[in-house]
């Protein structure tokens, strides 16, 4: 019997974590469409999708339409998952997170969980139990960005390997501009700290400026797990996903209180673990220098997040 199921994936930029899973399903012989919810042709592509046995899988925010997105970034366009689901009327719908931090709850997204046939979580947490309480089809599946066979292999040395992952990039560009954002980073970390920018295209001019100023800019295709294996300390902003990826891998991480959310909110939302440090920008290098001089010993923890289980996920979404 011919399999007429069509797997439709949706998300955009760093909010689309599902590309490896889409490729896995293609390799099983299924028809797959991937929608970029910020692409100008997204709506026309949705209109062209034939009706029938559609399985819809998203890692994007549920209500991220032009109105909500515009509150954060004026003029930014996005098609909302709720709009896509209304148009496609899928036979089955699946939600997976793109972030280890705010998994559900942005724009009161918890109100829409019952629209999904299945919710997949990267790890068991409070949001997992919240969803489970009101919705039975909830499964832990692992983190899709987690490197297989990940293990920290630090080499004892006086020259501590420290890497900065910029986050809150769009907000920073809106507030400071390209040159001003580069200045902010330069005032926060010195050139002894490597910088690992994301693939976010609007970050490229900032990275180029920092490179010209003597900073080491790492390959954007490297994952946090590639870098954490041999790093002594990770630095990022606020409660970015990198904070959670490092914290739950047992790697010491600094969460910079950058002012885009209140200090109280950042501190409350970050993982409450000994090896997660909240610091103001002006205190980051003071902290780093104390670590390098041996005046402060960093705490370490256990690696508790599992890699994504592709076969289990496939059985769940296709069953």
Question: Could you read off the pLDDT tens digit of each residue along the chain, which spans 319 residues?
Answer: 567 899 999 988 778 899 999 999 999 999 999 999 888 888 899 999 987 899 999 998 776 655 554 445 555 667 888 888 888 999 999 999 877 876 665 546 777 888 899 999 998 888 888 888 776 689 999 999 998 888 887 666 667 899 999 999 988 998 999 999 999 999 999 999 999 998 888 899 999 999 999 999 999 989 899 999 889 999 999 988 899 999 999 999 999 999 988 999 889 888 889 999 999 999 999 999 999 988 998 988 888 889 999 999 999 999 8
0.95 cut: is pTM over it? no
How many CB atoms are closer than 10 A to CB 215?
Answer: 21
Q: 230: which 2 tokens?
A: 């041999």
Rounded to whole angstroms, the Cα distance separating 101 from 88 reads 29
Max Cα distance, the chain (Å): 69
Q: What is the DSSP string of 69-101?
A: HHHHSTT-----HHHHHHHH--SEEEEE-S-SS
In sequence order, which residues have a C-beta less than 8 Å from that of residue 230 and are 6 or more positions away? Answer: 152, 153, 154, 155, 161
Rounded to whole angstroms, the Cα distance separating 164 from 233 reads 9
Return the pLDDT at 97: 81
Q: In Å, how far are 155, 202, 299, 303 from 276, measured between CA atoms?
A: 21, 28, 9, 14
Rounded to whole angstroms, the Cα distance separating 305 from 141 reads 10
Identify which of 106, 93, 105 has the alpha carbon closest to the alpha carbon of residue 10: 93
Buried b (16+ CB within 10 A) or exposed e, 148-164: eebeeeeeeeeebebbb
């Amino acid at each position: 019997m011919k399999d007429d199921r069509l797997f439709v994936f949706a998300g955009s930029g760093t909010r689309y974590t599902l590309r490896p899973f889409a490729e896995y399903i293609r390799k099983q012989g299924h028809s797959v469409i991937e929608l970029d919810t910020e692409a100008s042709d997204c709506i026309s592509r949705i209109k062209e999708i034939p009706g029938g046995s559609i399985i819809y899988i998203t890692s994007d925010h549920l209500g991220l339409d032009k109105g909500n997105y515009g509150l954060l970034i004026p003029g930014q366009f996005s098609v909302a998952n709720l709009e896509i689901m209304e148009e496609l009327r899928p036979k089955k719908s699946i939600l997976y997170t793109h972030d280890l931090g705010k998994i559900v709850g942005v724009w009161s997204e918890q109100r829409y969980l019952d629209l999904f046939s299945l919710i997949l979580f990267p790890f068991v947490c409070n949001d997992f139990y919240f969803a489970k309480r009101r919705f039975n089809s909830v499964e832990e599946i692992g983190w899709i960005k987690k490197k297989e066979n990940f293990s920290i292999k630090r080499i004892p040395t006086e020259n501590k390997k420290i890497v900065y992952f910029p986050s809150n990039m769009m907000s920073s560009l809106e507030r400071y501009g390209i040159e001003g954002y580069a200045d902010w980073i330069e005032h926060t970390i010195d050139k002894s700290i490597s910088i690992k920018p994301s693939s976010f295209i609007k970050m490229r001019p900032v990275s180029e400026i920092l490179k010209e100023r003597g900073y080491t800019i790492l390959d954007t295709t490297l994952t946090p797990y590639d870098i954490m294996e041999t790093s002594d300390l990770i630095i990022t902003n606020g409660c970015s996903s990198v904070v959670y990826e490092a914290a739950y891998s047992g790697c010491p991480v600094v969460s910079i209180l950058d002012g885009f959310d209140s200090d109280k909110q950042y501190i409350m939302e970050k993982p409450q673990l000994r090896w997660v440090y909240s610091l103001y920008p002006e205190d980051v290098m003071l902290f780093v220098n104390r670590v390098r001089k041996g005046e402060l010993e960093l705490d370490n923890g256990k690696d508790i997040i599992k890699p994504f289980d592709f076969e289990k996920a496939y059985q769940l979404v296709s069953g």
